[in-house]
Amino acid sequence: MFSVAEENYIKSIYHLQRSGYNVSTNELASHLQTKPASVTDMLKKLQAKNLLHYEKYYGFKLAPDGRKLALSIIRRHRLWEYFLVEKLGFGWEEVHDIAEQLEHVQSAELTDKLDVFLGHPRFDPHGDPIPDQKGKMESQKLICLLDAPLGKQLIVAAVQNQSVELLEMLKAKRLAIGTKLIIKKRFAFDESMEVKLSGNDVFSLSDKLGREVLVTLNQAS
């Protein structure tokens, strides 16, 4: 039905659009490790297949069919990740590349039988929700970092405003959409907190910053 390349584009567009950034040809190219010119070519093809709305120089976004396809790919990817970790004993950090291949195996029956076999898991080993056959998935509740629980793994999901100053600060602190962190300590005095990243660096964040950052609980952990 759709080629591996097409599926990868659709998946990337979905993920980038969802993370709030305005998706540009350049962003998409760097996300897919390819060149902007290649992206333009593919965007036209995807539009011709009704997966995408695209107007040149203006921008693009997924059409309903594209969104449906994206969710179906994500469903396959996350089910396979769950299988690899829970049944085959892989570590959750090892499974991404293998799932990238498995997700392109085309068979709706396979996906659904795998889902049944695994017991309809609702979250993959990274804590991301698994869409059902209809593309519905658990919506991750966004929590303000100031209100988030201590000691649990959190994932940065969004920011409240897009000011240059905030984005600059996030960059400096190595915080981005998808960054995983744990709140180690919170000081009542000024509402600042100490936070540990997955890379094990620990640093402190002010209340002001904490107020702007929205996170989700990593459900798998």
Report CA-CA distances (Å) from 66 to 2, 108, 155: 11, 17, 26
Q: Residue 142 is encoded by which pair of tokens?
A: 């966004």
58 vs 189 by CB, closer to DNA:
58
d(CA 112, CA 114): 5
- Per DSSP, helices labelled H in 49-120 are 64-86, 96-102, 108-118
State which residue, 106 or 133, has the beta carbon closest to DNA.
106
The distance of closest approach from Cβ of residue 11 to DNA in the complex, given in angstroms and rounded to an integer, is 12
Query: What does the alpha-carbon distance between residue 141 and residue 125 come to, in Å, rounded to a whole number?
Result: 18
Instruction: Please tell me the distance from the alpha carbon of residue 78 to that of residue 23, in angstroms, as a whole number.
Output: 23
Phi, psi of 170, deg, nearest 5: -60, -40
From the list DNA, a copy of itself, none, partner contacted by residue 98 (C-beta under 5 to 8 A by kind): a copy of itself
Our CA angle for 125, 51, 127, nearest 5°, is 10
Cβ proximity to a copy of itself: between 9 and 83 the closer is 83
Residue 40 or 140 having the CB closest to DNA: 40
Could you say whether residue 106 binds DNA (CB under 7 A)?
Answer: no
Which chain residues interact with a copy of itself by CB under 8 A? 84, 87-90, 94, 97-98, 101-102, 105-107, 109-110, 113-114, 116-117
Show contacts with DNA in window 34-93 (CB under 7 A).
Answer: 34-45, 54, 56-58
Measured from the CB atom, the residue of 55 and 109 that comes closer to DNA is 55
Quote the DSSP letter at residue 128: P
36 binds, among DNA, a copy of itself, none (CB under 5 to 8 A by kind): DNA
Q: Which residues bind DNA (CB under 7 A)?
A: 3-6, 8, 24-27, 32-45, 54, 56-58
